[in-house]
Structure 1
Amino acid sequence: MRDFAVWVPYGNGGKLEHKVLPPAPCSPEPNPIEKVWANIKRYLRTVLSDYARFDDALLSYFDFN
């Protein structure tokens, strides 16, 4: 699947009559979802050997058993 994105160097936006926006600043803090996945992965590293199946270990994080 192609997204048909066009790569335009930063200074050439005026020639194509497009407004080129500067890149967004980087945030030193992870997104909230990244924190959630980090917590899940940390939990799985500690309990994965206690379960025969990965999905059982994952569901135990959410207490669905």
Structure 2
Amino acid sequence: MGHLDIPDLGGPARDDDEIEEYQRTRHIAEEAEEAWLNRLADEAESEGSEGVDDSVSLEEMAALLRVRQN
């Protein structure tokens, strides 16, 4: 039988590159979300608690967000 030329279809190397790119993109997105949450927490802390009722103050929300991140 004759020799068949089979084209390179990407194989595992391409899959590894796509996995690495996904992980890198996911890491960037997580860092951006963490920075955004930290900014929100900082703003909430700087505003302090303005109301005196049973609702959660911005300061308490900021503390909860920080605890959740750790």
Instruction: Provide the TM-score with structure 1 as the length reference.
Output: 0.32
Instruction: Provide the TM-score with structure 2 as the length reference.
Output: 0.30
Greater helix fraction, Structure 1 or Structure 2: 2
Which protein is bigger by CA-based radius of gyration? 2
Higher relative contact order (Cα pairs below 8 Å, separated by 6+ residues): 2
